[in-house]
Amino acid sequence: MSKHEMVIGNDGSLRMVYADELTPLLSLGKAEIRRASHVEPAGVRWVVNLKPVGGPRIGPFRTRAKALAIEHAWLVKHNIPFPKEA
| 8-36 pLDDT tens trace | 888 887 788 878 887 887 787 788 878 88
Structural domain contains residue 83: no
The average pLDDT across 56-84 equals 93
- Domain total of the chain: 1
Segments forming the whole domain that contains residue 12: 6-77
**1 falls in which pLDDT band (50, 70, 90)?**
very low
- Determine contact, residues 82/19, Cβ cutoff 8 Å: no
In the sheet with 57-61, reading across from the earlier edge strand, the strands are 38-42, 45-49, 57-61
Structural domain contains residue 86: no
- The whole-model pTM stands at 0.81
Structural domain contains residue 82: no
Structural domain contains residue 85: no
